[in-house]
Structure 1
Amino acid sequence: MNRWEGRVALVTGASYGIGAAICRQLVEQGMTVVGAARSYNKVQALADELKGQKGSLTAIQCDISKDEDIRAMFSTIKQKFGGVDVCINNAGLDSNSALMDGDPSKWRAMLDVNVIGLSHCTREALVSMKERNVDDGQILHISSVAGHLVVAPYLVSAMYSASKHAVKALTEGLRQELRQAKSKIRVASISPAATETGFFGAQRNLSEEAATKKYTSMGFKCLEAKDIADSVLHVLSAPPHVQVTDVVVWPTEQNV
């Protein structure tokens, strides 16, 4: 990770769970981290907690579903830090809206974050890298095993799975575009299975107690947010001639 010291990483969905864990790890490794989320105060609280570490965390309020927010965010990053060297697209949500009788507005809201927002942030990050002749940058999507198979609808919606299948295609599509352009910028996705974060409860308006009970009732030890942050470090630590593109992380005891 030495070559990333002092360089700039953007992490979306940074207010809790996997996003917050990634911010913590990168700051500890000496990176200049920008944590973006709708909940600015939560990211700022984490930034305050991490003061004195090797790197730093700067909070930015941003709704990834809004084009103008994304443009403003990258403009701020350019003014403050010059640009982005690593873009970690972690922000995501589930519509919890079935295909049989679901709400199309909820589907669109989810796709605007999970697919369009992710792609927009990726594009802006690549523009930032190109402007500064950065040819060793990293694009990294935090996806889901739901992008590799369709899981039971009581866990995540079918439309959520569709959005994560799109992320898998976007990862490989960008890899091919970058190779065609003779760029050494790398792209990867990390797909966690059952992970104990605030995501499940937040998407279903569950209390923290009810969400915790759901995790413990699974009958096996779930992944923790730090486990996924460790996988991010694995991807970033790969030597220049190695491109890790697709990481799937399962709890040891989980079946499907």
Structure 2
Amino acid sequence: MIIQTEPCQHCGSQQVEAPWTLCRDCRRVYAKTLHRLRHDMMLLQQVSLHAYKLGEPGAGGKPQGGAAPAPINLHAQDMLDQTEDGLQDMWNETGVESRPRWQALLRDAPRRLPDLCRASRSGHWLTWLIHACERIEPLIDRRPRTRRIIGVCPECGREVLAAKGETLRLCKCGAVIDVAKLKAEAADTLNRYHKTLTPTGCSQWLRDDYGLDVPAMTVKNWLRRGKLPSSKPVGDDGYYEFDIRETVSMAMAYSRRQ
């Protein structure tokens, strides 16, 4: 008996057997994204009712012109309504003919996940879910997020930035990035690479590539005291083979103490 397979509708890199339309990895992403969306929608509802105040300039204060504030945050409410419409359409493809409210849909999401991952347009809806989370995020963050480079997209090679606590990012090419996985892969890559530099060159490299201000004399002291045990001199002209992971870790620890 020949088993028919098709490419995963979302990543396209793995083959899946019917009735699945998403591979196992993308099904995990689907589950994480639904969990994230439920958390974000609950906060967004609080924002719409003025029960959750953001700590950014302009988030509060008196309305201009003396007008009474609206009883709800209309922008947040519009976002809730739009997202709810999308969720209802998504669930319709699993055979749910009624249109429950978003609270019920997301509460039942773990039970309905197998149906969602077998839907005829599951890849489309997973991408839509990720975009929905990214649209809501600016409305519920208490403070601006500082995103740092965590690696490069395996699909297009673009640099991927993520903030602390983020689990998924959507690359500009449309690829869904598992933040923890990409960080681990980037760390493994760092373990295999070295850079040949003078201490002055190392100081400049740390500043340019990582934003870490470490004086050249400090790098020399690390070498002299054996704090960079994997680094080895190359010839007699002041160059060293610096282990990237070891050096960056040392520089980050130094910067935190300053």
TM range (shorter): under 0.3
Q: TM-score, with normalisation over the residues of structure 1?
A: 0.19
Name the structure, 1 or 2, with higher relative contact order (CA <8 Å, separation 6+).
1
Q: Choose 1 or 2 for highest CA Rg.
A: 2
TM-score using structure 2 length: 0.19
